[in-house]
Amino acid sequence: MKRLSHYDRAGSPRMVDVSAKPETKRTARAQAFVRMSPAVLDKLSVNPKGNPLEIARIAGIAAAKKTSELIPLCHPLMLSHADVEVALQAGGVRVVASVTTTAKTGVEMEALTAAAVAALTIYDMTKALDKSIQIQDLFLLEKKGGKSGDFRRPEGEDKR
């Protein structure tokens, strides 16, 4: 059975030492879904605070760059690319965050953080219309590179 890498032999939390690992290109994509009523979806384009979807994109990108400040044991990474796509769908907004770096550790947490913060931003900008909006289905879609190899969520599990 594999050991969790963020714990030492005594069970204490630690930051993983990646100094001996080679730098390789690493990418990750994550998603979140913001479930909202059709009435709220219809009002997204006329929000007095601005376009929630564009603001969410920018918030997600900024969050990806700040992940190591938010998640205590994450390594600070120099990202070479971060993007957030938002798409209106039946029942809400799908957020997909993509992150790339060349580093000694992966960018899964950066992609997940970007998707989560973008979804939270959509909630923040629409909560005046309906406080029952839900953030759902935050998960990793895929990652490439690194010692553990590639991962892709099986087809059918990548949608809400």
- Catalytically active residues, by annotation: 124
**Amino acid letter for position 30:** A
Tokens of 56: 């969410």
**Amino acid letter for position 38:** P
Residues 6+ apart with CB under 8 A from 27: 98, 99, 100, 107, 142, 143, 144, 145
58 vs 23: CA distance, rounded Å:
28
CA distances from 16 to 4, 19, 75 (A): 10, 9, 8
**Amino acid letter for position 3:** R
**Amino acid letter for position 29:** R
